[in-house]
């Protein structure tokens, strides 16, 4: 039915008015959705910078130790800063790579990581430190293949889960191949030996299988088998068995001066810190009392210098990163980008598991195990690989947001 204005226009010979002609023009506005997850980047940078400060504080006295020769007090600070710069550059380059490219190359990266684990055991290629052969010398720096394996097992396990989705409920076709591969990786890591890295890698692989829909009864049976295997591995290794007994009673004189030396001094550091710490730089335990204070026991120095508040902030920052990785992964799965979603969750599992074990060891909740604190502890391989992993998560989120905007990849 024509309006009065339209009828008048038609009698005058004018063109009819459209229904919305008299409405005010509305300018198109840009979506307020960010193109990528800036908070995740800033929280990660905060942990990197916080770790740099604490590595400097924990290592400044090492120049007085005969073990490290005549190093400058800023030696570890300068190298850690260099590792962070390299990691950020590598992360920036990684962010430009599409997720489907990572999926296509995931099996080849995983094979390369296995070959590196073999190479580290070859005399002349692998480098031994404190009785462990975990590094490959690459000029002025040492590369740790187990750190690369953590990243590549995330990429490979996610790809395997997507490819084998219809067989996840079958033991022979869905579960057994991944279990066989993990046994091979475990044997190589035990020859180094590196039980801590193996625990993290197993947690990543089988958690992704569980998220991918593996049979629940089969999964929990596997958990029982793994716990039993780790217990037997520790029991039949006299050195590891002694560390367990020392962990159960770290204040017994023989243990406190022997296998539980690190744990007892770590607990002393936390005790001295109380609520607000003794002040940045004021740690006593870092003065060559607490071994590996700048790597495995960095949290103990944080606890001593910044107290319960500093430790709580560190825990909350890691909790935020893990939670955000799972949120990005969930969003990817909702958008039917299953590989990217599983990769994001895999990185969250990796960071969460490793941070939990490191913090548990520092606090005496778990037996002493050589695992660093992601993004914070001193170490080139760990820092660079951590930055690359988070860049991949940011890329997953970036592609999710493109699809949510109605764009195309």
**3-class state of residue 378 by DSSP:** coil
- The answer to whether residue 245 scores a pLDDT higher than 50 is yes
Mean pLDDT of 154-166: 88
Run of H or E residues at 51: helix 38-59
Give the position of tokens 């908070």: 39
Q: What is the pLDDT of residue 139?
A: 65
Mean pLDDT of 242-271: 82
Q: What is the pLDDT of residue 131?
A: 62
Q: What is the pLDDT of residues 166-205, one digit of tens each?
A: 776 676 676 778 888 888 888 888 888 788 888 899 899 8
- The answer to whether residue 30 scores a pLDDT higher than 60 is no
Q: What is the pLDDT of residue 204?
A: 92
Calculate the average pLDDT of the chain: 84
CA dihedral for 48, 53, 55, 58, sign (positive or negative): negative
Mean pLDDT of 114-127: 85
- The answer to whether residue 237 scores a pLDDT higher than 80 is no
Lowest mean pLDDT among 54-63, 93-102, 314-323: 54-63
Q: What is the pLDDT of residues 336-362, one digit of tens each?
A: 999 999 999 999 999 999 999 999 999
How many Cβ atoms from other residues are within 10 Å of residue 99's Cβ?
23
- Integer Cα distance of 189 and 58 in angstroms: 29
Confidence of residue 64 (pLDDT cuts 50, 70, 90): confident
Structure tokens at 78: 């300068």
Domain map of the chain by residue range? Answer: 37-96+248-402, 101-236
- The answer to whether residue 6 scores a pLDDT higher than 60 is no
- The answer to whether residue 15 scores a pLDDT higher than 50 is no
| Residues in contact with 179: Cβ distance below 8 Å, sequence separation at least 6, in sequence order | 222
Give the position of tokens 């800033």: 42
Mean pLDDT of 389-394: 97
Whether the Cβ atoms of residue 302 and residue 310 lie closer than 8 Å to each other: yes
Confidence of residue 25 (pLDDT cuts 50, 70, 90): low
Q: What is the pLDDT of residue 291?
A: 86
Query: Closest Cα to residue 322, out of 344, 339, 337?
Result: 344
Of residues 57 and 19, more confidently modeled:
57
Q: What is the pLDDT of residue 18?
A: 47
Using alpha carbons only, give the angle 323, 324, 329 rounded to the nearest 5 degrees. Answer: 100
- The answer to whether residue 107 scores a pLDDT higher than 50 is yes
Confidence of residue 276 (pLDDT cuts 50, 70, 90): very high
Whether the Cβ atoms of residue 193 and residue 133 lie closer than 8 Å to each other: no
- The answer to whether residue 249 scores a pLDDT higher than 90 is no
- The answer to whether residue 322 scores a pLDDT higher than 90 is yes
Mean pLDDT of 93-121: 94
Enumerate long-range contacts of 60-67, CB under 8 Å, 24 or more apart. 60/281, 60/286, 61/286, 61/287, 61/288, 62/288, 62/294, 64/288, 65/288
Mean pLDDT of 301-309: 96
Q: Which letter, b or e, does each residue of 269-307 get, where b requires 16 or more Cβ atoms within 10 Å of its Cβ?
A: bbebbeeebbeeeebebbeebbebbbbbbbbbbbbbbbb
| Residues in contact with 306: Cβ distance below 8 Å, sequence separation at least 6, in sequence order | 273, 276, 277, 280, 313
- The answer to whether residue 92 scores a pLDDT higher than 90 is yes
Percent of the chain with pLDDT over 70: 87
- The answer to whether residue 267 scores a pLDDT higher than 50 is yes
């Amino acid at each position: 039915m024509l309006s009065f204005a339209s009828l008048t226009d038609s009698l005058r010979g004018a063109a009819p008015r459209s229904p919305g002609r008299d409405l005010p023009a509305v300018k198109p506005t840009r979506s307020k959705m960010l193109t990528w997850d800036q908070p995740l980047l800033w929280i990660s940078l905060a942990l990197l910078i916080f770790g740099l400060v604490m590595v400097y504080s924990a290592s400044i006295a090492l120049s007085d130790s005969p073990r490290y020769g005549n190093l400058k007090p800023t030696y570890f600070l300068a190298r850690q800063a260099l590792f962070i710069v390299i990691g950020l550059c590598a992360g920036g380059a990684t962010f430009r790579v599409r997720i489907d490219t990572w999926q296509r190359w995931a099996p080849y990266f995983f094979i390369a990581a296995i070959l590196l684990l073999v190479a580290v055991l070859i005399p002349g290629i692998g480098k031994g430190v404190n009785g462990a052969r975990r590094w490959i010398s690459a000029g002025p720096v040492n590369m740790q293949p187990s750190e690369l394996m953590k990243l590549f097992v995330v990429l490979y396990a996610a790809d395997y889960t997507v490819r084998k989705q219809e067989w996840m409920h079958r033991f022979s076709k869905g579960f057994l191949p991944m279990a066989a591969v993990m046994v091979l990786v475990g044997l190589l890591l035990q020859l180094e030996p590196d039980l801590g890295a193996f625990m993290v890698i197993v947690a990543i692989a089988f958690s992704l299988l569980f998220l991918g829909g593996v049979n629940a009864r089969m999964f929990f049976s596997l958990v029982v088998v793994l716990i039993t295997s780790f217990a037997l591995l520790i029991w039949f290794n006299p050195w590891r068995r002694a560390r367990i007994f020392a962990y159960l009673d770290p204040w017994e004189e023989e243990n406190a001066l022997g296998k539980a030396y690190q744990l007892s001094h770590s607990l002393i550091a936390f005790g001295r810190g109380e609520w607000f710490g003794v002040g940045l730089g004021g740690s006593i335990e870092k003065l060559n009392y607490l071994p590996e204070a700048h790597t495995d026991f960095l949290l103990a120095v944080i606890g001593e210098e910044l107290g319960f508040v500093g430790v709580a902030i560190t825990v909350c920052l890691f909790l935020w990163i893990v939670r955000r990785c799972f949120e990005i992964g969930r969003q990817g799965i909702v958008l039917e980008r299953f590989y990217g979603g599983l990769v994001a969750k895999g990185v969250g599992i990796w960071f969460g598991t490793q941070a939990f074990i490191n913090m548990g060891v520092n606090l005496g909740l778990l037996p002493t195990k050589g695992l660093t604190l992601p993004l914070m502890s001193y170490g080139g391989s760990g820092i660079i690989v951590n930055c690359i992993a988070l860049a991949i998560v940011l890329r997953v989120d970036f592609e999710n947001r493109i699809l949510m905007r109605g764009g195309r990849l």
